[in-house]
Amino acid sequence: MTRELQAPADPGIRIRTELRPAEPAAASAAIGIELRDVNLSYGDNHVLHDISMDVDEKRVTALIGPSGCGKSTLLRCLNRMNDLIESARTTGSVKIKGQDIYGPGTDVIAVRRRVGMVFQKSNPFPKSIFDNVVYGLRIGGVRDRTALEAAAEKSLSLAALWDEVKDRLQASALSLSGGQQQRLCIARAIAVEPEILLMDEPCSALDPIATLKIEELIYSLKERYTIVIVTHNLQQAARVSDKTAFFWLGRLVEYGVTSDMFTNPREKLTEDYITGRFG
């Protein structure tokens, strides 16, 4: 998957960029995130082209595609993490519950509290497990010890970590295993009670057993959160997601119900990718 992708050799390949409503799912869902004509460039480098898609609420949506296709960049558009890069310019709109997070006067900090994020490599702070989980609440002004403790227990339980750490909440987060650290990061993200959870290849640094645990966790979390996950692993996308979006060279090529897309892709490009002909 590390091979550089060349520009399309076959000019016959169509990349449709207009809005494509997702195929009707088994149970239809409300719209969680509404993207319209999202474009992003780093300086002169145009990375995302006219992305428009609707992400279902309380479902798992997987973003797939070869390296450098823009899927991680798109994920970072959803909580405005790209703002941290000086040269990044974003246009278009991303609406969460009808509110455009790129609209004028938007409070970026509040956006990030509504949209949690879990990173490729677990990045716990060099503090205790407890301090990690309640970090977001503390900076948000929560001081009450019992409230913090209750929130920590709840988030750690939701992240399926409570039983493993309940006796050593004051131990350093760095003493946990890789998989536990990643679950801690998930607990930390959900402690602030976001509506949406973004996951940027959350299992890429984990062994298969830890990966399985995270996947189970994702499955159980979708009852409460809208989850968008970037993954390199097509099997993982097939296992955990309800819908899948395939990106190529910064464009959204195909977006649909996961099972349909993996059995019966509409685009030749998608078929080539999921059958492993490139990428």
Partner 1 sequence: MKATSAVDLRRRAVSRAVEVFCAASVVLALVPLGMILFFVLRQGLPALNGAFFTEMPKPVGEPGGGMANAMVGTLILIGIAALAAVPVGIACGVYLTEYRRARLSTAARFSADVLNGVPSIVIGIFAYQAAVVPFRRFTALAGGLALGVMMLPLIIRTTEELLGLVPPSYREGSLALGATRARAVWTVVLPAALPGIVTGVLVALARVAGETAPLLFTSFNNQFWSTRLDQEIASLTVQVYTYANSPYEDWHRQAWAGATVLIASVLFFSLLSRFATRRLERMHRGTA
Partner 2 sequence: MTRTAVARDGSLFRLGLGVAALAVVALVLGIAFVLVDGSLLSLRAFGFSFWRTQVWDPVARRFGALPFIWGTLYSSFLALLLAAPVALGIAVFLSELSPRLLRQPLTFLTELLAAFPSIVYGLWGMFVLVPVVRKLEVATPGWMRHVPLFSGPPLGVGMLAAALVLAVMVVPFTAAVAREVLKAVPGAQREAAYALGATRWEAIRMALFYGRTGIIGAVMLGLGRALGETMAVTMVIGNNPQVSPSIFAPQYTMASVIANEFTEAADPLHLHALVEIGLVLFLLTIVINALSRLLLWRVGKKEEAPAVPAAAAPVAA
Kind of pairing, strands 88-96 and 31-42? antiparallel
| Closest alpha carbon to 270 in 240, 256, 53, 47 | 256
With binding defined as CB under 8 A, does residue 109 bind partner 1? yes
Across the strands, what pairs with 230? 63, 200
With binding defined as CB under 8 A, does residue 13 bind partner 1? no
* Number of shown-chain residues binding partner 2 (CB under 8 A): 36
CB within 8 A of 277, min separation 6: which ones? none
CB within 8 A of 83, min separation 6: which ones? 108
With binding defined as CB under 8 A, does residue 71 bind partner 2? no
- Binding flags for partner 2, 154-193, as an x/- string (CB under 8 A): -------------------------------x--xx--x-
CB within 8 A of 243, min separation 6: which ones? 22, 25, 55, 56, 59, 60, 61, 62, 255, 256, 257, 258
Member of 14, 16, 87, 140 binding partner 1 (CB under 8 A): 140
Q: Which does 173 bind (CB under 5 to 8 A by kind): partner 2, partner 1, none?
A: none
With binding defined as CB under 8 A, does residue 117 bind partner 2? yes
Q: Which does 71 bind (CB under 5 to 8 A by kind): partner 1, partner 2, none?
A: none
Q: How far apart are the first and last CA of the chain?
A: 5
Residues making contact with partner 1 (CB under 8 A): 96, 99, 101, 105-107, 109-111, 114, 139-141
Residues making contact with partner 2 (CB under 8 A): 42-43, 45, 72-73, 79, 81, 83-88, 108-110, 112-113, 116-117, 119-121, 123-127, 135-136, 139-140, 185, 188-189, 192
